[in-house]
Structures are given as C-alpha cells and as structure tokens.
Homo-oligomer: A and B are copies of this chain.
Amino acid sequence: MANIRQLQVNSGPVTQCAQCPVREHALFQGVPLEQLQWTQHYREDQYRVDAKTRLFSEGDEHPYVYTLFTGWMMISKSLANGKRQILRFLLPGDFVGFQLQLHGKMTYSVHALTDCQLCAFPRADLDKMLNENAALATRMAMLNARDMAFCQQVLLATGQKNAMERMASLLLQLFIRVKTLRGLVKDSDENSIELPLSQEQIADALGMTKEHVNRTLREFRDAEILDVRSKRLRVMDEARLTEIAELDAKALAEQALL
C-alpha cells in the first residue's frame, strides 16, 4: 500500500533502445514481416517509467497495452484489508495489459520495480489489429497460454508446496528466465543474477510473511544452496534447488524463450 506512488510517464517517444535485449515487440515476434507492413499506421509509442512508480492500478480504465523492453515490473491484486498478492514479475519481452474486458477496468495493478522502458499500443488499435491479422491474434493467444501455464505453476506451488519449496520455485524460475534472456545480451557471472526485489515483495508473491521469507532465505544460505543479498541472487547448488522446487528446468527455459 505504502509504496504506491504517483504515476510518472514521461511522454514523448524514445527513438532508440540501445541496451534493450528484446528488440522486437513481443506481439510481433515470429510474425512474417510482410504481414506487418499494414500495421505501420497504428500508433506505437515508447515510454519510460521510473522505479517504484505505478503504471496503472486495479480498477483503472487504462487506454494502453504494453510490451516491456527493459527493466522489471510486477503485476498484483489486493484485498480490502491491504493484503497483496503479486501475480507475476515481468521481464523484458513480456506483454502487459491484455484482458477480457479490453475496454473495461483493469483487473490488476502494474508497478515498476526498476526504471523501465516500454512500448505502448492503444487498446482500440489492438482490438482492430487482432481482428484483421490472424498471425498476430494467434501469437496473442500463445503469449496468453504461456502466462497461463506460469500462473498455474504458481497456483500449484502456493496451494500445495511449503515455504522452502515455494521459494525455490520462484527463485529458480526467475534465475532461468534471466539467464535465458541473457543469452541475447552476453554477461559474465554464470551463477548469479540481478534480483531487484525486497523480501516483502518476495513474500507477497509467495503468500507468506516477510519475516518467514527472511528465515527461509537464511535456511537456503545455511544449506549453501543459494544466497540472496544486496539485490542479487547467487545460486550455489542449482541441482539441489531444482530438486526442491520440483520444476522442469528445460520446460522453464522453453517458456522463457517465447
């Protein structure tokens, strides 16, 4: 609740995106170029959003959908008593904002965890574009199916795994996704990734308290499996982590590639 601040979208297109690992808009990946010519006349703008600011909130009538180009964001839903569930962390390449009520109120909130750059589409245009281009609409369905599979994985974890297993699932999933993205943008450290999350955010993603997240992270550190410290996740024993998480690392990497 407390960390929701004013939206700061600096309008004006960002022409270049030099450090962006995903050059194409996610919706267009794999769609043949000649089928995209006609989309030229649809509006498409790039925006910056500062760390810790809100892109939109649950209940807003928000006119855009986005592809995240750089940075980390999160999607969340809250209850009246202030409890918050983080549904997903967004990484470069992820699509945000598509939902059933295309022109109704958003069913979740989106916040930037780091400074972000994103590509925006007017909802009205998206609607038309999908109905005019089957390859695009199919890709949209596929993106949705990927996110669905992920949401179901998290639901399985939240409903049936204990604290340690849930945490292993989340961290391994992020570890693999970030390393997969990195394939496109070379990096040095093989067994550590940037992890711009507070323990409270991890807690809200896993449905546990921040204190228990802290204790669980300590257990992992004591067992020399992983170490989360100063916004960095270091994995010492990936095999053991995979075992605890009970996830299929190969499937995760495939998902991350889409």
Contacts and interface: CB of A to CB of B under 8 A. Distances in A.
Contacts of A131: 134-135, 138
B207 A159 contact: yes
A29 interface: no
Interface in A152-182: 152-156, 158-161
A26 interface: no
A149 interface: yes
How many of these chains are in the complex? 2
Interface stretch (A46-54, A93-101, A233-241): A93-101
Interface string A99-119: 111000001100000000000
Identify whether the interface residues of A are mostly helix, strand, loop, or mixed. helix
Given A101-B254, A134-B130, A137-B138, A79 B160 contact: yes
A84 interface: yes
B158 A159 contact: yes
Nearest to A77: B156
Interface string A197-214: 000000010110000000
Given A130-B141, A160-B79, A160-B84, A100 B152 contact: no
Contacts of A138: 130-131, 137, 140
Contacts of A77: 152-153, 156
Contacts of A124: none
Given A79-B246, A134-B137, A137-B141, A100 B258 contact: yes
Nearest to A83: B160
Contacts of A99: 145, 148-149
Nearest to A133: B134
A203 to B, nearest CB: 10
Contact of A207 (B107, B134, B158, B255): B158
A206 B160 CA distance: 9
Given A130-B134, A158-B158, A159-B85, A141 B98 contact: yes
A77 B247 CA distance: 12
Contacts of A142: 100
A132 interface: yes
